[in-house]
Amino acid sequence: MAGFWGARKKERELLAAQDAELGRRADAALVAADERVRTTTDELMFAELELGTEATRDLRQAVTAVRTHLGEAFQLNQLNHDEIPDTPEEARTRNERIIQLCDWAQDLLDDRLQALAAPVERARRAPEIIAGIRASVERDEARVPRVEEVLERLSARYSPEAMRKILGNTREATQLLEFATHGADVSAQRRESGQREQANLALETAIEAGRRATALLDAVDTFEIEALRAESTLDAIIDDSREDLAAARDLRAVPAVASAMTELERELSALTPADQKPDPFAELTRLRAANAALDAAVASARHRAAHPAPPEAHVRHAIDDADRQLGVARSVISGHRGWIGADARTRLAEAERLRLDLAALAAVPIAEDDREKALADARRCGQLASEALQLAQRDIDSSRPNDGGWGGPGAGGGGRRGGGNDVVSGILGGLVIGSILDGIFD
């Protein structure tokens, strides 16, 4: 008994130490959260000076919500230090709630401050950013004449359909550059007049306009490189397609291969003549698709030649055999519902599910590509039905009373039990004969 009471005392001391530590954590979390609200309020004031009241609305609402919920935390902390005694469970619950509220407050303020960090940094670096925008505009304006020369060169080489994506890039880029310059000027003016929110909005607009203008000019240079790469790839695919057509001639009797060859030959004949302007991107896409279709058709035909599909008659014979075995198993199981266990019924359900999947093949010719799977499913269905019958017989035998005189005198093996075995043995023997015939037909 002394050991028992000593263990209980140690447990109480350990729990008291844990509660004391929890109380210290709650006090520290409350102090840290209160300090965080104070510093965040200062940061909110500076952010409003930099960005305006509208841009800092989410942070202001977060500070208000945190102050409201921290009021609850302070009330709970006051209850921990008043003169009214509390149970350890009550103090523990209050301290856990205080820690939860303080952690939530810290996470919420972190999230809102992180969302404002980039805009505040950009606003503080506004003069530097404006100078960078103007320098970028000058560089892009100097690029415009060279990009126009590239467009003229590309227009002389490629069709209007190919050039449609970039023909208006220089004109649109020039407009955007003018807009970026105007936005930078407006931002500087509004900032000098103290309208920080409008200044930041104009700055964001100028940054985006300059970025889009640069992207439009870069797209022309990228187009030239991509067009040269597409022409090179197109030449390689033309040579590969002609070789594939020559290699597939011995399989032209296969309908899928013949159709793919016809489509590829049509795409080859539709290529732009040498005296006209091509669209290498569209031609490459069409020719690549036709070439891939021929490769797939040839691979399928060669696989079929190496692995011939079973005759449709064999598949249908396997389905008929599965139906016979399903019928026997279904009859035995339905006639002894109270005696059949879960294993037999599960096997029968799996066999019937497979048979339902095969039902769609009964009224239509079975395609060659579907025959192997259909044959495997039919054989699996018959196997599951046979297993269900064997399991059902086991359950029936184990459920009958083992009484030598139950089936009456003269019953083989001593009663009805032996007669039941003879009946099922005859059924199984018939299924075995059917399986042998299946092997002969296969």
The per-residue pLDDT for range 66-94, each reduced to its tens digit, is 888 888 888 888 887 766 767 778 888 88
418, 411 Cβ separation under 8 angstroms: yes
Distance CA(215)–CA(202), nearest Å, equals 20
Q: What is the pLDDT of residues 346-393, one digit of tens each?
A: 999 999 998 888 887 766 788 777 788 888 988 999 999 999 999 999
> What residue has token string 């000098």?
192
**Which residues of the chain fall below pLDDT 50?**
1-2, 4-5, 403-442
277, 157 Cβ separation under 8 angstroms: yes
Going by C-alpha positions, the residue among 332, 324, 337, 435 that lies closest to residue 388 is 332
Distance of CA 62 to the CA centre of its chain: 34
What per-residue confidence (pLDDT) applies to 12? 61
Distance CA(330)–CA(386), nearest Å, equals 10
What per-residue confidence (pLDDT) applies to 412? 40
Q: Could you list the beta-strand ranges (E) of 200-297.
A: none
